[in-house]
Structures are given as structure tokens and as C-alpha cells.
Copies of this chain bind each other. A is one copy, B any other.
Amino acid sequence: MKARIITIGDEILIGQIVDTNSAWLATQLHQLGIGIESIVSISDTREAIHGALDAVNGVELVIMTGGLGPTKDDITKGALAEWFNSGWRTDERVLARVEEHFAIRGIPMPEVNREQAEVPEVCEVLFNAHGSAPGMWFEKNETVFISMPGVPFEMKSIFADEAIPKIQSRMKGLPIVHKTIMTQGIGESSLMEIITDWETQLRESGLKLAYLPSAGAVRLRITGQGEDQYALQRQIDSQVGNVLPLITDYAFGFDDERLEVALGRILKKFGKTMSTAESCTGGYLSHLITTIPGSSAYFLGGAVTYSNEAKENLLSVRNESLVQFGAVSEEVALQMAEGARKVYGSDYAVATTGVAGPDGGTEEKPVGTVWIAVAGPNGSKAHRFRMGDERERNIRKSALQGMQLLRKQILEDEGISPLEVLH
């Protein structure tokens, strides 16, 4: 069973927006066991849309996003009605939804939104609970065509709630099983050297392995496909059990678990609280931690201290240390972590201070130099890192490294092996 994703919109072709919808849809289809043959982005013109629809031979499921908004540059619905040779009807449920959407917010409904309740006669409506543009389901020559708005949270809700049940009742594919091991703190090549023998026998056993690097983290994805889903699952689990002892220092979770989730899981498990003291990461570390719902149970707060005065006033960093060693130093990192632990009253605190770049580097402390400290009930430790040349990557790598150091410190204090708390 094969699917194609088509995203419609000049904004993608000129690079004004990044296509995150396709990645999300791909994940969903993959979990359904439906392989994706290709993802295609095209212009929002009738010609491009009709051309893409004409070219879907051999694909059973076509998922389109974009071009369904209320404004004049949104032409997908008209192009679909033409291609399916369909007249129009008003969908009363959609009309009521559109009217309610504006009523709740106390905003008068723009007239143009009324047209959003007009749909091609031949389609079934996929209801949009979060917006005014409905999704649509068409069928032609054994192929299903789904069209959804491009606004991500509207599209996701339509697809998950409305489209997936209909797809599942219609299609089935050869099961794909995969498991991903999340690692932090080691590069792709070095990781490969460590696990090369394991990788060779993995491939010989018929499974596939992919290395997926991103700033400061590498994901290892093991994939198998076959008739017997349960046998595949057991085979993959056994391979994971073999490789983990080789990468204990780096693995922190499975299946796209983010490091901030893995850290939160451990804080909750042991009933500990934390705070942050950030210089070079500028709030990104506390941002990552607080994206997780429920993080207020263990995250008490963080101090972003860019200026030396802020480091002194909020975190009680000693002026002499700043003068003698500089803001980017082991002493200041330790004092920042200890200061945050005290002022927030948390069990643990993690501090970052470094040269994110592009300016501020010196011969002794070049761009990318970062000190990270963890303070806890058993004392404080600081570690020096040499990240890279790019500001945003340095910020991200430092924040991830801070979370990993804190995670390991908690496990050490609790006397737990890292492999026991992966899940």
C-alpha cells in the first residue's frame, strides 16, 4: 500500500514556510503501516494541482494540504471541484461551526468565511473542530484523495479524528515495526565506530539501521517489515538489548522521547525538583523543560542572567570571581548553579555559561566554549565543552548537554543504572 503527500502553496516553493505538515503526516501513515512513496510540494495554481492529480497512477492514497483558507489566494477547493467534475453544496454543520467560531470570540464573522461552508458535492466532509475550513474526502478509480487545510493544528485534528478511522477501515499494509534509540553527547561517526560489529550482524539478520543526527543528538532507528509483527517486535527488542550496554553513557530514551521528557520522567520518579541558571542558553533550557505539560510539578523556575550584575544580584555570584576568572569559567558556572538551587529552593540546579557566538570569542575561550554545572544535594560539579561555531546550534547543544548532565547526576545520587530508567 503506497501513499503520496502533496503540499500545495507558493509559500513552500519560495521557502517562506517550512513544511512541517508532511513530517507529521508521514509519522501517522508510517504507524498505520502505510509506506510513503514520495512527498511533493507544488505551486498553488490550477495547472500545478491538476498536474499533480493527473500523475497519481498507482498510488492508493493521496493526501493534500494547503490552499483551503478563506482568502483569495486559496484555490485548492475550486481546483478539486473542477478536476472531479463536481457541483457545489452548502454543508450545514460546517456553516454552524464557522458561525460559532466567531461568536465565541465575540468577533463579527467576515462574509468571506461563509463561503467556507461550500464544498464540492462529490466529497464527504472531514469535520474541522478547530477552524472554519473543512477537510474533504474524494474517491476515484480505487484511489482516495484527502484534502485538508494547511494550518498545522487544524490539519492534525482533522487527520487524527476524521481521516484515520476511514483509512483504517479501507486499507491495510505489510506491518512495519521500528524502534528508535535516542542518544545525546556523541557524534554520528564515533557512534558508528562503537557499534559497528553489532550493526553488521543487525543488517545480516534482515533489519535496517538509520543514523539520524540533529544538533547535539543522534537517533538510531531500527526497522523491520514482514508478515509477523510480533516476531519482528521480539527480534528488534532483542537487538536493542544487545546494543544498549555499548552506549550507556549516551542513550536516554526510546521512540522520539525528547531529552526534556526523559529528564522530567526521572525527576518525577524520584520526587525531585530543579531550577536553571542560564547565561549562554538565554532561556532555551527552561523553555525546553516547560514545553512539557505538567513540568510545573518539578520545575520551579530559572534565572536568565546575561549581564554580570544580574549574575551577582539574582544568583549571588561573587564579583571577585567574575573579575578574576571571567563569566565563562568553572567558578562562575558552579556559583550560578548553587545560587539558583538556593534562590529557587530546588533539589537540583543546572547552570550554563559560555560563548555562543558569533562575537565574544577569545584565543583562550573561543566561540563554542561552554561551562555547564550541576548543583545537587551531594555537591556541585562543572564540565567544560567545546561546542561549534554557530550560535543557535551552540545554544541547543548546551541546553541538551545540561539536561543530560543533570539526568546522570540524579541517577548517580539515587544509585540507579541509566539502563534501568530507559523505557
By a beta-carbon cutoff of 8 Å, the part of chain A in contact with chain B is 10-20, 22-30, 35-43, 48, 69-73, 105, 107, 110, 112-113, 130, 132, 151, 153, 178, 180, 188-190, 192-193, 199, 203, 208-214, 219, 221, 223, 256, 275-276, 278, 281-287, 289-291, 293-296, 299-307, 309-310, 313-314, 343-345, 357-359, 386, 389-393, 395
Contact partner of A358 (CB less than 8 A), chosen from B19, B26, B293, is B293
Contacts of A290 in B (CB 8 A): 282-284, 304, 306, 395
Contacts of A151 in B (CB 8 A): 213
4 nearest interchain CB pairs?
A282-B290, A15-B26, A15-B27, A283-B286
Complex alpha-carbon distance, A178 and B285, angstroms: 37
Q: Provided the pairs A23-B19, A192-B70 are in contact, do residues A293 and B391 lie with their beta carbons within 8 angstroms?
A: yes
Contact B73 A211 (CB under 8 A): yes
* Binding site secondary structure of chain A: mixed
Contact B300 A309 (CB under 8 A): yes
13 A-B contacts (beta carbon < 8 Å): A14-B178, A15-B29, A70-B188, A71-B188, A72-B199, A151-B213, A276-B283, A278-B283, A283-B290, A290-B395, A300-B306, A301-B314, A314-B343
Contact A12 B16 (CB under 8 A): no
Contacts of A209 in B (CB 8 A): 72-73
Complex alpha-carbon distance, A22 and B392, angstroms: 19
Contact A304 B286 (CB under 8 A): yes
Contacts of A389 in B (CB 8 A): 130
Complex alpha-carbon distance, A15 and B22, angstroms: 7
Contact partner of A23 (CB less than 8 A), chosen from B18, B28, B210, B223, is B18
Contact B15 A28 (CB under 8 A): yes
Contacts of A39 in B (CB 8 A): 12-13, 19, 40-41
Contact partner of A212 (CB less than 8 A), chosen from B17, B72, B256, is B17
Contact partner of A306 (CB less than 8 A), chosen from B43, B223, B256, B301, is B301
Question: Which residue in chain B gives the minimum CB-CB distance to A35?
Answer: B13
Question: Which residue in chain B gives the minimum CB-CB distance to A52?
Answer: B38
Complex alpha-carbon distance, A27 and B67, angstroms: 20
Contact B291 A300 (CB under 8 A): no
Contacts of A393 in B (CB 8 A): 153
Complex alpha-carbon distance, A156 and B71, angstroms: 34
Shortest Cβ gap from A33 to chain B (Å): 11
Contact B23 A27 (CB under 8 A): no
Contacts of A395 in B (CB 8 A): 287, 290-291
Shortest Cβ gap from A89 to chain B (Å): 22
Complex alpha-carbon distance, A199 and B72, angstroms: 9
Contact A38 B42 (CB under 8 A): yes
Interface centre among A70, A193, A290, A309 (most CB of B within 10 A): A290
Contact partner of A304 (CB less than 8 A), chosen from B24, B70, B301, B358, is B301
Contacts of A112 in B (CB 8 A): 189, 192-193
Question: Which residue in chain B gives the minimum CB-CB distance to A17?
Answer: B212
Shortest Cβ gap from A102 to chain B (Å): 9
Contact A293 B40 (CB under 8 A): no
Contacts of A310 in B (CB 8 A): 275, 300-301, 343-344
Contact B40 A38 (CB under 8 A): yes
Question: Which residue in chain B gives the minimum CB-CB distance to A109?
Answer: B189
Contact A22 B36 (CB under 8 A): no
Contact partner of A256 (CB less than 8 A), chosen from B16, B25, B223, is B16
Contacts of A35 in B (CB 8 A): 13
Shortest Cβ gap from A314 to chain B (Å): 6
Contacts of A357 in B (CB 8 A): 293
Contacts of A48 in B (CB 8 A): 38
Complex alpha-carbon distance, A227 and B39, angstroms: 33
